Amino acid sequence: MIGKHLTVPHRFVCVTDDVPAMEAAGIEAFPIWAAPQFEAKQNYWLHNFVRLGLFDPEIGGKIGERLFSIDLDAIVRRNIDHLVSDPAPFRIMSMLNRTQLQGGMFLIEPGALTPNPWRMLTESDVVERSRRNKWIGSDQAVLSELFYRDVQRGRWPVFNEGHGVAINALDIPRDWAVFFRTGARKPWHTSRPEWAEYYKQSGRALGEKPPVEEQFTPQKRGPYCVNDWRERRAIR
């Protein structure tokens, strides 16, 4: 999908624990790195702290000087040049109807951010603070704890609905460019309204084994799902 809808010169690199399989499929691959382990806070949240390594020059910098990270299970259906054209060293998804940052898509020049979120995992209590302040998830909870205020103040540009980005929409906007499903819900599930677009854009046949196996229980609403910014500010 990226190859079809991104015309800006780029390399497509898959960070994976199975480099030979990716290379056999003709995909450039980079071996995934070890990440600090933390006790799972919610059994239906992904443990994605490893993704923060892209922010570090010693890890992400070995892949490239400027990285556009996007979930492999997202749907891309039209040109996304506008998402990578901003010269800012950091840009992240921050939806208008959500009160935290989303880690499914971001631009980063490794080493450009202070504090460095990867090093903060082991050099500070940022994970504990992110949980205490009720940010949702793992990597995106840390990013929200460190940078949400700066994003809200306009220091860093964002991706949101105005740029054709959609998350879990019941009625998918007609002009969307990139669509994300959270948790165990996947766009290739035929119970989802976007499934036909997924198969169309991916080139897979209906019923073909999906690229990622479902391993998590369905996401539930819980005490850590804080959507009202006034409630969030009161908690913080």
In the chain the domains, ranked by start, together with CATH numbers, are 2-235 (3.90.550)
Dihedral pair phi/psi, residue 70, rounded to 5° = -145, 140
What is the predicted pLDDT for the residue at 174?
73
pTM: predicted TM-score of the whole model, two decimal places: 0.84
pLDDT digits (tens, 9 = 90+) for 215-235: 333 333 333 333 333 333 332
pLDDT digits (tens, 9 = 90+) for 120-147: 999 999 999 998 998 988 999 999 999 9
What's the per-residue H, E or C state across 50-99? HHHHHHCCCCHHHCCCCEEEECCCCEECCCCHHHHCCCCCEEEECCCCCC
Within 8 A by CB and 6+ apart from 27, the residues are 12, 14
* Percentage, residues of the chain above pLDDT 70: 83
Residue 41 pLDDT class (50, 70, 90 cuts): low
Distance from C-alpha of 208 to C-alpha of 229, rounded to nearest angstrom: 41
pLDDT digits (tens, 9 = 90+) for 172-209: 667 899 999 987 788 888 888 888 899 999 888 776 65
Higher pLDDT, 228 or 94: 94
86 Rama sector, left if φ>0, alpha if ψ -120 to 50, beta otherwise? beta
pLDDT at 53 over 50: yes
pLDDT digits (tens, 9 = 90+) for 139-170: 999 999 999 999 999 999 999 999 999 998 76
Q: Which whole number is the average pLDDT over 51-72?
A: 97
